[in-house]
Structure 1
Amino acid sequence: MTDAISHEIPAHMIQRPWKVLAVGAGGTGSAVLPALARLHHAMIELGHPGGIECTVYDDDTVSPTNVGRQGFYPNDVGSFKAPLVVNRLNLLMGTNWRAVTQRLNGRTALFDVDVVIGCVDTRAARKAILDTVGETHAYYLDCGNDTDRGQVVLGQTMPKSRRKTSRERLPHVGDLFPDLIDPSKDADDDTPSCSMADALRKQSLVINSAIAVQAFNLLWTLFRTGSLKYSGVFVNLTTGRTNPIPIDPAVWARFGYEAPRPKEKKARKSRKSAAAH
């Protein structure tokens, strides 16, 4: 018997602008951020008070092998990725977003962040995100990919003291897939590709866009309907399939995550005890 539940959007995300922190403006990030700007515009048009306020963190610069594979052009080579993406969106979409040319770290000031979007390509970077925001109350949308497959997982961070009692919390990527936040499992060969052709032999040209679409759809659905029935998606370009991760403790348990169980009702026990006497 399934124990599927529906997740509801927090009230404050309907009443004020979404404060979003995006980590990574490279392959997936440069695909996710334009979609996020479109979501901002749609939210405003539909009457939301403020849309999205976004800050993008990335300390990397554009290399020749990024051109064509990511959202950059030949004239961008050598420039920082985050300001390039953010400045273009601000000019084209009327946003007022910020770019920070450094990595997210434990010294990053976090004030009422609603959504953290991780567009990183290593387990170490994913762990760094959780180390930084793990004790906050926020959504963590992980956008990860490999050669021709990947996953999008929307979970919630929360102080450790409350995780064991909050049955409504959506498990984040580290809860469901601990291997994805284990830096020791990062590939030994992190050598940059020498050419775009070499890079394309390692990774599908389409995978970043495919992951971005699924992330976009999760956020759009959460805003437009106010609820979600699934909190993640597996994408496999080789088979042409996408598989959702239902919001269901029974499904989570298959991945090794045990959701907190509801507390036993003491009143019922008291009644049984009284009846025995």
Structure 2
Amino acid sequence: MNTTKTAVHFVDNELISPTNPISVNLIGAGGTGSKVLTALMEMNHSLIALGHAGLQVRLWDDDIITSANLGRQRFAESETELYKSVALINRCNRFTGTNWKAETAKFEKGKLGRLPDYAQATITITCVDNVQARFGIAEILKEISNRRNHRDEPKYWLDFGNSQHTGQVLLSTIGEINQPQSEKYKTVANLPMITDEFGELLKQSEQEDNTPSCSLTEALEKQDLFINSSLTQMGCSLLWGLFRNGMTPYRGFFHNLKDFNTHPIKVA
């Protein structure tokens, strides 16, 4: 008889029954980030309806909307020349009455070598388009995780990444999350960061040409029309499951839209 226990991660209690809205840093407002923000808006409304305190989102992006962003990203022609983060956050706040914040800057250390206190959040979601940015964010998260007794102490990092037809979503913990005793499951306190577990693979897959696309046609040559939205729905479903179930046997997935294959990554 097989007595192997299923490995699961139990979610930090702060996410399940918080006194205040859960702080979320969403980094990147492009093809994936603009769609993730819409999913967070839906998630926030649903959580509040279920008696949860909801989410408080801060969107980081220093890019300006251009005509190449229309169609594949969540922007209208009337919004060209505006900051992506400002256009999206203003729209969300008007639509749902939230007080979410926009930052027209990159999520990185300032001249004094540190982030402002308001840059700290319980959940960090990254939708960035280059590997170097991921490593920089990982370094910052490890550094600020040492600031204890802070209401917005970093707990989780959800990273979205993709190429033209493929992509992945990976959930990490920032340090270890206390786990309950369980006779039924093998509890896992630490979910490794993507930069630690797949760092070399990320470096090998990085493309040399990261220049902005000048048209929608050129953008579609780099990323297929629906790769961002398919990753968004599945990745945000993973996050939604953390709130609803309080535990997860999965910490992400690899996704190939061209042949419709998705491979889950199990907690181990």
* Overall identity of the aligned pairs, in %: 38
TM-score (normalised: structure 1): 0.81
Q: Is 2:191 the partner of 1:170? A: yes
User: What is the aligned-residue RMSD (CA, Å)?
Assistant: 1.9
- Mapped contact 1:127–1:181 kept (Cα < 8 A): no
Q: Is 2:253 the partner of 1:230? A: no
- Mapped contact 1:173–1:180 kept (Cα < 8 A): no
- CA distances 1:165-192 after superposition (whole Å, capped 9, x unpaired): x95111121122113654x863222232
Return the alpha-carbon distance in structure 1 between the equivalents of residues 201 and 85 of structure 2: 24
Q: Match of 1:94?
A: 97
Q: Which of 24, 41, 52 pairs up with 1:37?
A: 41
Q: Match of 2:183?
A: none
Q: Match of 2:214?
A: 194
Structure 1 residue runs of 4+, over 6 Å off? none
Higher relative contact order, structure no. (Cα contacts within 8 Å, ≥ 6 residues apart): 2
Deviates more, 1:104-113 or 1:193-202: 104-113
Q: Match of 1:23?
A: 27
Return the alpha-carbon distance in structure 1 between the equivalents of residues 261 and 231 of structure 2: 12
Q: Match of 1:241?
A: 261
Q: Is 2:116 the partner of 1:109? A: yes
Return the alpha-carbon distance in structure 1 between the equivalents of residues 16 and 28 of structure 2: 26
Q: Sort the Cα spacing of 1:41 and 1:180 in 2 relative to 1 into closer, same or farther, 3 A.
A: farther
Q: Which of 143, 149, 159 pairs up with 2:160?
A: 143
Higher-Rg structure is 1
- Mapped contact 2:24–2:124 kept (Cα < 8 A): yes
Q: Is 2:133 the partner of 1:125? A: yes
Flag the structure with higher helix content.
1
- Secondary structure in 1 matching 2:7: coil
Return the alpha-carbon distance in structure 1 between the equivalents of residues 139 and 188 of structure 2: 22
Deviation at 1:239, TM superposition (A): 1.0
- Secondary structure in 1 matching 2:235: helix
- Mapped contact 1:174–1:180 kept (Cα < 8 A): no
Tell me the amino acid that sits aligned with residue 8 of structure 1: F
Return the alpha-carbon distance in structure 2 between the equivalents of residues 181 and 102 of structure 1: 24
- Mapped contact 1:140–1:155 kept (Cα < 8 A): yes
Stretches of structure 1 that go unaligned for 5 or more consecutive residues are: 160-165, 249-277
- Mapped contact 1:154–1:232 kept (Cα < 8 A): yes
Q: Match of 2:226?
A: 206
Tell me the amino acid that sits aligned with residue 102 of structure 1: A
- CA distances 1:101-145 after superposition (whole Å, capped 9, x unpaired): 001113223466210000101001111211211231420100001
Return the alpha-carbon distance in structure 2 between the equivalents of residues 57 and 210 of structure 1: 22
